Structure 1
Amino acid sequence: MGIAEVISNHLAGGVSKIGAAEARELVRIGAEKTDKLKALNKSDQAKWFAQRDINYIRNYHEKDRVANKKRKLYTSSLLTDWDILGLTFDSFVPRPESVAHVNRAKKWAKVLAQGEHHGRFVMFGTAGTGKSWLSASIANYVNTYSSAYKRQQVVLYLSATRIGDLAKLVKSNSFGKEAESARKQWQVVMDAVKGRQIKQFDPSVGHDISFRQDFANLIVIDDLGRENKSGSNAEHFKSLMFDLLDAIHKDASIIVNSNYTMAELSSMYDNDGALTSRMFTTKQEQILDFRSLPMFRATEN
């Protein structure tokens, strides 16, 4: 029986659901292994092709899993302007004084994409100097290139303004369509932060163990401090932020950018640092101070 005939019989038997192009590829690969396959009996030949089909399906689902993780940046993020997710390092042209900040941001992006480091990163200072742009560039880099390191990361980009918009509706006893919609939006965010609960049998302990899969590896909190901080909404905002920060996985990273300094933000939200201590770091290599830097400019189209 020829190789093509073995494949045809295998496909006709209903074992495979692959298309014509994939079938032709199997024929090509099979042709390259003619000598080896001819030495096998019909049963072993069928097993060989069945295994190839299983491998194909596994690879297909792995690609689909990675694609789904990459889409989470767009489906789970919370923004006022979705165009920010199109910003990249390539479209950011800094003035000479800002080059060191851009290079530091690129270094952060590479480290985070490799998935070998987690922590808290802070950008603060003058408005209009590119903090949000660079934060989005890092998110896009990690979302796009982390798969090259075989560590596809889940990235979540959250606007503090949008969190503020939802805070009162989510945390108060409000009812109606608007409140229901707000709670659904926030649940999507929390689901992305927490990841899915998976149960899997662990032979070392002899029973199922639970763990989280596909949790958000990188959470960007954009423009902290710009949200409405007055009145009862301030308390609702802080409460929502506590929920978010408490749900973040210990191996996840956080990037916060703000027009306010860390000291100013601490005085806004808490005197004891209970909230801001969950977001800020004391490591100077993970802090970028944009005060006194000039305005950035984007590339010309």
Structure 2
Amino acid sequence: MTLLKNRILSPSQSDNLLLWILRLLALITGIIVILITAFLLLEALPILQQLGWRRFVSDPSWHPVQGFYNLLPMLWGSLLVTLGSVLLATPLGIGSAIFCQYYAPPVIARLYRTLIELLAGIPSVVYGFWGLVVLVPLIGKLQSPGTSLLAGIAILTLMILPTIALTAEASFAEVPAEYLQGAAALGISRWATISSVVVPAAKSGLFTGLILGTGRAIGETMAVLMVCGNVVQTPKSLFDPIRTLTANIALEMAYATGNHRSALFVSGLLLMVAIAILVAVAETISQRNIYG
């Protein structure tokens, strides 16, 4: 028994071991991010040294064979399809989490949660295929051609909604029971409790879900490639076809060479910058929530 006890790590030793493992994992993650960024920068450097950044927003169009490298229409396409999907998915996801957590009977809540989890596990290509054969023809009946910014927004809304909903529900579940009991003791109605007590208490988790959903939307490739039409233009309406930066990389990387290939890596750098800005904003808001 004494020998067995000696073999068991003390709590302090276990904590130290866990701390070093976490430090190692964090270091590996940081190195991977740095290596990916360095690789993108090295591949994009030839055309950046030759043309500079300005050509990517001032050229007449995107025709790499003719020496035109304007990425602005595709950047607008990526931003608009992401913004539209986030604006739709956020209230839907938070509303479904509120329903599941506070209004639905237990049986219905479990079934509803299972369906949301199922949506989260569907591959993006399946969403894209469904959108191509079902959603695009429906939009085409309103205004041709059907493949459009609106189709991309609708598909991405379905794709990021489970992420926002499940994160929101987990955040609501972590709200201390004392908050709800105190509100009940004061005679506050259920909706007033949710809007004035639960949501403010869970705002950090809600914002995390929003950031995760936005990150998935801005980086999505296959689904938007299949339903957005892949026309390089700045959309003037929801029914205009668009091409996103991710779709452009997927479509052209297989045959791109020289400056054309380097320009695609510039697209990757732009996406990395967008994600970095998103993370920085999230960290700033998180710190304000902690210390504000």
User: TM exceeds 0.5?
Assistant: no
What TM-score, normalized to structure 2? 0.23
Q: Which has the higher strand share?
A: 1
What TM-score, normalized to structure 1? 0.22
Larger of the two Rg values belongs to structure: 1
